[in-house]
Amino acid sequence: MRNFVIAAALAALLGGSASAADNPQLGNPASDVMPPVELTITLQDGKPVCAPGDLRLPANTNVVLQVVSQANVPVTITAEGQFEQGHLLHADGDLVHVMSEKGYTVKANGRGTLKLRTLDAGEHSYACTANNKRDAPFVGKMVLSPPAG
């Protein structure tokens, strides 16, 4: 019986769309749509480049961020406030949470999924930093717009 309860709880956590029950302090998302977005990481001259450089997402909405790295080194993705526990709903694949940097490290040539609640509307920077080139991060722009009606 205990194993059944654990399995049911795990299935509920991993399956379906995220809701306010996933993180009650966030309240309901601005939209029930959960758009998938792909973030691709490559290396140019040994430095990481993330695409899209202008990451456009709906604000205060649950999104699925598919991370695909073609870099042969680990790369850390950061965005102030976005990957903190309150906004992170689920992570899996070749991703490792980096608490001190409030981001995720993607293994070399790794893939993973981040399910998160985006921040409120506005522009924020995000960065992709190769672990061997910390002095040369790629800095992109995360544009969060109110979701369409």
Q: Please tell me the pTM assigned to this model.
A: 0.77
Look at residue 73 and tell me if it is in a domain: yes
> In which residue ranges of the chain is pLDDT below 50?
1-21
CATH number of the domain encompassing residue 83:
2.60.40.420
Identity of the residue numbered 56: R
Look at residue 39 and tell me if it is in a domain: yes
Look at residue 117 and tell me if it is in a domain: yes
Strands 103-106 and 95-98, by their bridges, are antiparallel
**pLDDT (0 to 100) of residue 32:** 66
Angle at 144 between CA 140 and CA 149, to 5 degrees: 150
Report whether 75 contacts 126 (CB < 8 A): no
The residue segments making up the domain with residue 44 are: 33-145
Question: Where does 15-129 have alpha helices with state H?
Answer: none
Look at residue 44 and tell me if it is in a domain: yes
